[in-house]
Amino acid sequence: MPRIMSVENLSVRFASRSGQIEVVKDLNFDLWTGQVLGLVGESGSGKTQAFLAIMGLLARNGRAEGRALLGDVDLLQLKPRALNRMRGREIAMVFQDTAAALNPTLRIGIQMAEVLALHHAVPLPQAELAAIDMLDMVGISDPERRARCYPHELSGGMRQRVLIGMALMCRPKVLIADEATASLDATVQAQILTLFKTVCDRLGTALVLITHDLSLAASIADRMMVMYAGQAVEIATTDALFHDPRHPYTRGLLASTPAATVTRGKLYTIPGPPPRLLEGERGCRFNPRCPHRAAHCVELAPILRPVALDHQVACHFDIGGASQ
Amino acid sequence: MFTRVLKRIAIALVTILVTGTLAFILVRVAPGSPIAAKQLPSQAALNLTAYYGLDQPLWVQYLDYLRRVFVDFDFGPSFQYHGRSVRDVLATALPVTLTIGLWAALVATVCGAAIGTAAAIWRGQWIDHLAVGLTILMQMVPTFVVAPVLVLVFTLTLRWLPGGGWNAGDPAHVILPVFTLALTQLPNVTRIVRASAIEVLGSNYMLVARGKGLPWPLLYFRHALRPTLLPLVSYLGPMPLSLVAGMTLTDLFFSTGGVGTVFVSAALARDYAVVVTITLASAVLITLSNCLIDLLYAALDPRIGVER
């Protein structure tokens, strides 16, 4: 299976009053044709910022370093004009918060069609026909009428489908879905996940599913990446991650996921506050909250190392065995 | 939509009527009278009072005035300018005022929108600091200081422009009054557009639009322009009100002979008919512009309009 994208040593820093804040640190991962990568981690773990950096959409005080190779093009080195040729065509992103992600003053048909019109030099009216087809494909009934609607005339679920359809207009090689189903109710969520899976199978798109919901990621992801404090702490196949988690944080996450079958007892929570991200701090970023902490964890940052086939962990210990 | 327009028109008519009535009562209640101001012999004064119908009870005069205005579209004679009707007086003054007012509104809106947008795009850089600084300065300095300074610079020092007079609307004579008046509105427009543009440019949908790979002309003109202008449009409604207020000073200072000058001298001479008519005209202008703004708003923002 061909590799579409490989991200090497991606770091993202923000300048702030209290110094440089490193929200993403030395991130390394690959994306493969037609595969789904589930990216999980708590709020502020750098999931979104990593991909905003790859898309060249960081806030003004943000800086990205490293390489993000799409084919043999490094997205981080591209000039604005060249980057614009990639965004929306080769790599697209579906944002969270559907209410704010669509322009309130433009009809959704236009908003979808303009991507195609721009990248494939199709006249706008013709591109709108393609937009109607796409609305149909993402499961919106009566697409001709919906294309003429303004965003406020659609429900949240429909807007989410519109955003997904919009991202797919140019059949991108990489699709990033950032909490794309977070605001939807469970049945719509399931439909949209199915849609994602179909799209990946049909178009060979590599999907990155950013979420804080482990079970949701597990339902369609082929591989999982767990992020903590801007770093990847564990990368594994979904199977391996759930049945043989190696990082203390991953174990904590799994243990703190409520299960439908257990009705008694207190839900596990990871102790301690979320991390500070100031640059220049030594040691493992998870060490203050880690049950396995040892002296060298405070001094030395662990690097991501393979522990099994297609399974990498950033921890000094080898905590094997079954899940807690 | 149709009933909504009807309702608006009805409210507008009531507003105009109430404003006219209040102006009519207030100007009569004020001490002094147009006849007393002329200091005539007593018999002549009595004759004049009877001639203008000022000896009638107030409510008779009021009904009479209403009938003349709404039926004959006649605003009565001016007490101050002999042999001229209010219509004649305003026929010379109104074009002056409308010319200056419309140009000032245009200059303030266009320049303010441009400066505000530039400040938002280069937020936190020198353009922004300059724009914000100038805005605060302009807001602090009143018209009666701005006007002499402009005359000092452009008339007395540089000798580029005449410092007053109308001269049948010669462009050179129009420029200084227009800019003086525009400067009263410019800070507000700049502030509103800057704040709105900052919000729009930082919005999620602009991030999405950039993520689609749109080049800047499409980003700014297709995606950002309309939502940015919305708050400005709602400011354009009350703008004629402050323009009318600011106009009096510029008109007096530059001796352009517009409605402002006429209004002030009419108020001093207790020229009842002129005062009430100008007040009425302002009310009509402002309600009309508010109605227009409502319609424009509905056209710009699809979320407003048909459903209510």
User: Are A196 and A252 part of one and the same domain?
Assistant: no
Percent of chain B beyond pLDDT 70? 98
CATH fold of B94-272: MetI-like fold (1.10.3720)
Query: Which chain A residue has its CA at the smallest distance from B297's CA?
Result: A105
User: Are A59 and A156 part of one and the same domain?
Assistant: yes
Percent of chain A beyond pLDDT 70? 94
CB contact under 8 A, A105 and B207: no
Task: Tell whether the model's pLDDT for residue B131 goes beyond 90.
Answer: yes
Mean pLDDT over each residue of chain A, to the nearest integer: 86
User: Are A291 and A189 part of one and the same domain?
Assistant: no
Chain B contact set for A105 (CB, 8 A): 226-227, 300-302
At residue B308 the predicted structure's pLDDT band, cuts being 50, 70 and 90, is: very low
Chain B contact set for A85 (CB, 8 A): 213
Distance of residue A214 Cα from the nearest chain B Cα, in angstroms: 26
Q: Kindly state the tokens that stand for A127.
A: 């591109």
Chain B contact set for A86 (CB, 8 A): 213
User: Are A209 and A288 part of one and the same domain?
Assistant: no
User: Are A121 and A257 part of one and the same domain?
Assistant: no
In 3D space, the residue among B16, B187, B172, B167 whose CA is nearest the CA of residue B96 turns out to be B167
Mean pLDDT over each residue of chain B, to the nearest integer: 86
Task: Tell whether the model's pLDDT for residue A33 goes beyond 70.
Answer: yes
User: Are A193 and A314 part of one and the same domain?
Assistant: no
User: Are A211 and A298 part of one and the same domain?
Assistant: no
A85 in B contact zone (CB under 8 Å): yes
Which secondary structure element, helix H or strand E, spans residue B249, and what is its range? helix B239-254
| Tally of domains within chain A | 2
pLDDT for position A144:
93
Chain A contact set for B215 (CB, 8 A): 81, 84, 118
Query: How far are the Cα atoms of A165, A223, B14 from residue A32, in angstroms, in the given order?
Result: 21, 10, 70
Mean pLDDT to the nearest integer, B231-254 = 86
Distance of residue A111 Cα from the nearest chain B Cα, in angstroms: 9
pLDDT for position B133:
94
List of residues 6+ apart from B71 with CB closer than 8 A = none
In 3D space, the residue among A62, A85, A47 whose CA is nearest the CA of residue B212 turns out to be A85
Task: Tell whether the model's pLDDT for residue A204 goes beyond 90.
Answer: no
pLDDT for position A151:
92
In 3D space, the residue among A302, A175, A177 whose CA is nearest the CA of residue A228 turns out to be A302
> Helix B239-254 crosses helix B259-268 at what angle (to 10 degrees)?
80
Distance of residue A119 Cα from the nearest chain B Cα, in angstroms: 8
**Of how many residues is chain B composed?**
308
A82: Cα within 13 Å, side-chain hemisphere: 8
User: Are A263 and A212 part of one and the same domain?
Assistant: no
The 10s digit of each residue's pLDDT in A264-321 is 677 777 777 777 666 667 788 888 888 888 888 888 888 888 888 889 998 888 776 5
A237 in B contact zone (CB under 8 Å): no
pLDDT for position A261:
65
The answer to whether residue A259 is domain-embedded is: yes
A166 in B contact zone (CB under 8 Å): yes
* Separation CA A169–CA A114 (nearest Å): 9
Structural domain boundaries enclosing A18: 3-221
Mean pLDDT to the nearest integer, A183-207 = 84
Query: Which chain B residue has its CA at the smallest distance from A153's CA?
Result: B303
- Given a contact cutoff of 8 angstroms between Cβ atoms, the answer to whether A311 and A240 are in contact is yes
* Separation CA A31–CA B109 (nearest Å): 51
* Separation CA A38–CA A177 (nearest Å): 10
CB contact under 8 A, B212 and A115: yes
Q: Kindly state the tokens that stand for B108.
A: 């303030």
Among A179-183, A216-220, B34-38, the range with the most confident prediction by mean pLDDT is A216-220
Q: Which residues of B touch chain A, with CB atoms under 8 Å apart?
A: 203-205, 207-215, 218, 222-223, 226-227, 300-303
User: Are A253 and A210 part of one and the same domain?
Assistant: no
Let me know if A31 is exposed, middle or buried by CB neighbors in 10 A (0-12, 13-18, 19+).
buried
CB contact under 8 A, A118 and B218: yes
* Separation CA B194–CA B197 (nearest Å): 5
pLDDT for position B305:
58
The answer to whether residue A76 is domain-embedded is: yes
pLDDT for position B108:
94
- Given a contact cutoff of 8 angstroms between Cβ atoms, the answer to whether B169 and B98 are in contact is no
* Separation CA B142–CA B242 (nearest Å): 13
User: Are A138 and A273 part of one and the same domain?
Assistant: no
The answer to whether residue A228 is domain-embedded is: no
How many other CB atoms sit within 10 Å of the CB of residue A72?
5
pLDDT for position A321:
52
The answer to whether residue A234 is domain-embedded is: no
Distance of residue A167 Cα from the nearest chain B Cα, in angstroms: 8
The 10s digit of each residue's pLDDT in B160-175 is 888 888 877 788 888 9
User: Are A80 and A196 part of one and the same domain?
Assistant: yes
CB contact under 8 A, A92 and B211: yes
- Given a contact cutoff of 8 angstroms between Cβ atoms, the answer to whether B62 and B29 are in contact is no
User: Are A10 and A127 part of one and the same domain?
Assistant: yes
The answer to whether residue A179 is domain-embedded is: yes
Query: How far are the Cα atoms of B69, B152, B235, B245 from residue B143, in angstroms, in the given order?
Result: 34, 14, 20, 11
The 10s digit of each residue's pLDDT in A142-193 is 999 999 999 999 988 889 889 988 998 998 999 999 988 877 778 878 888 8
Task: Tell whether the model's pLDDT for residue A323 goes beyond 50.
Answer: no
A154 in B contact zone (CB under 8 Å): no
* Separation CA B216–CA B239 (nearest Å): 31
The answer to whether residue A226 is domain-embedded is: no
* Separation CA A141–CA A236 (nearest Å): 38
* Separation CA B46–CA A211 (nearest Å): 90
CA A15 to chain centre: 23
CA-only gyration radius of chain A, Å:
20
pLDDT for position A77:
92
Which of A70-74, A260-264, B149-153 is the least confident region?
A: A260-264
